[in-house]
Amino acid sequence: MYWDAEMECMPREELDQLKLRRLKETVFRVYAFVPHYRDKMDAAGIKPYDIQTLEDIKYLPFTTKQDLRDNYPFGLFAVPMSDVVRIHSSSGTTGKPTVVGYTKKDLYTWTELMARALTCAGATRHSMIQNAYGYGLFTGGLGVHYGAERICASVIPSSGGNTKRQVMLMQDFGTTLITCTPSYALYMYEVMQEMGISPRDLKLKAGIFGAEPWTESMRRDIEARLGIDAYDIYGLSEIIGPGVAIECPQKKGLHLFEDHFMPEIIDPGSGEVLPPGAEGELVITTLTKEALPVIRYRTRDLTSLDYQGCSCGRSHVRMHKVMGRSDDMIIIRGVNVFPSMVESVLLSIPGVEPHYLLIVDRVGTLDELEVWVEVSEKVFSDQVKKLEELGKLIRKELEGTLGIGVKVRLVEPRSIERSEGKAKRIIDRRKL
Amino acid sequence: MVKQISIFLENKAGRLASVTRVLGEAGINIRALSIADTSDFGVLRLIVNEPSLAYRILNEAGFTVSETEVMAVRIPDSPGGLAGVLEVMAGAGVNIEYLYAFIGTTSEDALVIFKVEDVEEAARVFAERDVQFLDAEEVYAL
């Protein structure tokens, strides 16, 4: 089912023409109205009319989170404040928050995109959507909310937190679709267990999970435990919020809405554009944004792009499930380690829970990685020998995948902090 | 068979105290206990008067708990008493995974908790060789 068949299934050639026209407009607009972009383009010796084909985008300078911070709060806006009708902001966990703005048309676009995304994941006017993304400055809550209202679904704006109440609402209101982070979905399952509620007795059919990278094995886990279809959604506030890309029922990549966003994959080290199919950092240029157009934004998310047609009928490119973040990556003794790699290994061992924490420390001159894994009843034994064997097995599997020595520590259930938003997976104690 | 409650504990201050506090508040009496530990974690093994209740409340309190079948064997409380029973078991090829002594005793006998690989086989050997072991109810009521 499509929300906007004409756009979502537009033939490639037509889509590329549309993208080029919109790209040119965007470049002219930022050059004219945003001093930051004009200065950067001038410094690189690029004028707006140098962009004649889609490939020419590679001549434009990148935009990073730091650029948004340097222009805090409104320096990159391309419209007067009188045209800005909404402001959102990132959590700012790693410094000054980044601030984003929307015109009335931007909000219309965003709402339409979320309507597409929800429809793609099977939502209709008959759905009862419980939106457990945080409402407020974070884009997740309101982004999903307006899309869900657009398709005339019934929306429960439960926001994040108060997990027992979330479960109660789910049960009493007959929620059919839940939206939250994947780690929060797993936590809700634990709380259901505690409350003696079986997910099978709920009306829940599907979940749309995003805002943090999660693996294919975590999807299987969520789907088996909650008895639902789990869809991955992708978005980031700097671009628009949730609704940049969404999985279709094929679950083979997320359709990225190319009529509004132009994706590229680059080598995160050299910044060079990589050919289709190659794995690297996702870079996005907005094609229709008015308040905050962004040129070649470095998302830090690692993925690949697949331009082959999809059996769902949508023509828009599919991005692979995000494999990690280039800034989530920890380098231990010269080896790149992503939390997602650890998650895959843990979930491949029967009975092991996907609740884990990576602790990186420097002992003397050597970096050490310790992985904390919770011991569930499924793997618990009254014999120390068997637990030690489990620890060794996990260690061996992790070392095989990561290629470095790892220390595994078995910890008590729930001793790793649960998150109602994005899960914290790494504690880096190294003082570099 | 006698049910032993096993609990996973991290080597952190206060963990053992919190398990015993939870049990104490539920009115559960500990009859025997042992701890097997490594540098990072330990397994606490308990014989209590009400194992099913203990299992449930520990589980609700968020601990990783399991129930294991063990045997409570009556052993003459005199030099060579334990050796005699162990020799019987070794002779019959009954593998022992671990054992620990009971806190309270009955009269002149000592009680030892055995975790064996094959409970039925051990019971058969004990019956044949006149080694006494207690029913679950007897143990819980001690």
Q: Which of A365, A373, A360, A372 is nearest to A404 (CA)?
A: A360
What's the whole-number mean pLDDT along residues A291-301? 96
SS3 A61: coil
For position A334, what pLDDT does the model report? Answer: 74
A278 pLDDT higher than 90: yes
Between CA A63 and CA A60 the distance in angstroms is: 9
Whether the per-residue pLDDT at A415 is higher than 90: the answer is no
Give the confidence band of B106 by pLDDT, cuts at 50, 70, 90. Answer: low
Domain A330-428 in CATH 3.20.20.20? The answer is no
At residue B18 the predicted structure's pLDDT band, cuts being 50, 70 and 90, is very high
* Cβ–Cβ gap B10/A384 under 8 Å: no
How many helices (H) and strands (E) are present in chain A, helices listed first? Answer: 11, 21
Residue B30 has pLDDT above 60, yes or no: yes
Residue with tokens 């409650």, as numbered in its chain:
B5
What is the C-alpha to C-alpha distance for residues B47 and B33, in angstroms, rounded to an integer?
6
Quote the pLDDT of residue A159. 93
pLDDT value of residue A49: 96
Instruction: Please check the confidence at residue A262 and state whether its pLDDT lies above 90.
Output: yes
At A92 the pLDDT is 57
Residue B107 has pLDDT above 70, yes or no: no
State the smallest CA–CA distance between residue B108 and chain A in angstroms: 30
Dist CA A309 CA A191 (whole Å): 41
CATH code at B2-68: 3.30.2130.10
pLDDT at A280: 93
DSSP strands (E only) in A133-278: 154-156, 177-180, 206-209, 229-236, 241-247, 254-256, 261-266
Stretch B17-40: mean pLDDT: 92
CA distance A384 to chain B (A): 7
Q: Where in chain A is the domain with CATH 3.40.50.12780?
A: 1-327
Nearest to A384 among B4, B15, B43 (CB): B43
Query: Which regions of B26-122 does DSSP assign to beta strands (E)?
Result: 30-37, 41-48, 65-76, 96-101, 109-116
pLDDT band, very low/low/confident/very high, at B37 (cuts 50, 70, 90)? confident
pLDDT value at position B39?
85
Q: Is the pLDDT of residue A245 over 90?
A: yes
Cα–Cα distances in Å, from A297 out to A146, A281, A286? 25, 10, 9
pLDDT at position A355 is 87
Instruction: Give the mean pLDDT of B30-43.
Output: 90
Burial class (CB in 10 A: 0-12, 13-18, 19+), A227: middle
Roughly what angle, to the nearest 10 degrees, separates helices B51-60 and B15-25? 120
Within chain A, what is the greatest distance between any pair of CA atoms? 72
Which sign, positive or negative, has the C-alpha torsion A347, A350, A352, A358? Answer: negative
Among B18, B40, B56, most A C-beta atoms within 10 A, so best to mutate, is: B40
B48-57 long-range Cβ contacts below 8 angstroms, 24+ apart: B48/B5, B48/B23, B48/B140, B49/B140, B49/B141, B50/B140, B51/B3, B51/B4, B51/B5, B51/B140, B52/B3, B53/B26, B53/B28, B54/B5, B54/B23, B54/B26, B54/B28, B55/B5, B57/B22, B57/B23, B57/B26, B57/B28
Q: What is the mean pLDDT of residues A301-320?
A: 95
Bridge partners (DSSP) of residue A324 are A302
How much is the average pLDDT of A148-175? Answer: 96
Average pLDDT estimate for A395-399? 94
Which SS3 state, helix, strand or coil, does residue A111 take? helix
Q: Does B62 touch chain A (CB under 8 A)?
A: yes
Contact criterion met (CB < 8 Å) for B63 and A413: yes
A431 falls in which pLDDT band (50, 70, 90)?
A: low
Q: What is the pLDDT of residue A303?
A: 94
CB A166 within 8 A of CB A226: no
Q: What is the CA radius of gyration of chain B?
A: 16
Query: ipTM more than 0.90?
Result: no
Arithmetic mean of pLDDT, A63-72: 92
Asked which of A40-49, A106-115, A126-135, A423-432 is least confident by mean pLDDT, the reply is: A423-432
Q: What are phi and psi of B10, to 5 degrees?
A: -80, 150
For domain A1-327, the CATH class is alpha beta
Residue B104 has pLDDT above 70, yes or no: no
What phi and psi, each to the nearest 5 degrees, are found at residue A151? -85, 5
Choose, out of B2, B8, B10, the residue to mutate when testing the contact with A (most A CBs < 10 Å): B8
Distance in angstroms (rounded) separating the CA atoms of residues A403 and A422: 27
Among the ranges A149-153, A328-332, B79-83, which has the highest mean pLDDT value? A149-153
CB atoms under 10 Å from CB of B117, counted, come to: 11
The dihedral of CA B107, B110, B113, B117: what is its sign?
Answer: negative
Residues of chain B with CATH 3.30.2130.10: 2-68, 70-141
Give, in degrees to the nearest 5, the angle at Cα B114 between B109 and B118. Answer: 135
Q: What is the CATH code of the structural domain delimited by B70-141?
A: 3.30.2130.10
DSSP A97: P
pLDDT above 70 as % of chain A:
98
Query: CA B2, CA A57: separation in Å to the nearest integer?
Result: 74
User: Cβ(A387)–Cβ(A376) under 8 Å?
Assistant: no
Question: Which residue in chain B has the smallest CA separation from A196?
Answer: B60
Selecting from B60, B64, B66 the residue whose C-beta is nearest the C-beta of A412 gives B64
Q: Between the ranges A259-263, A362-366, B70-74, where is the mean pLDDT highest?
A: A259-263
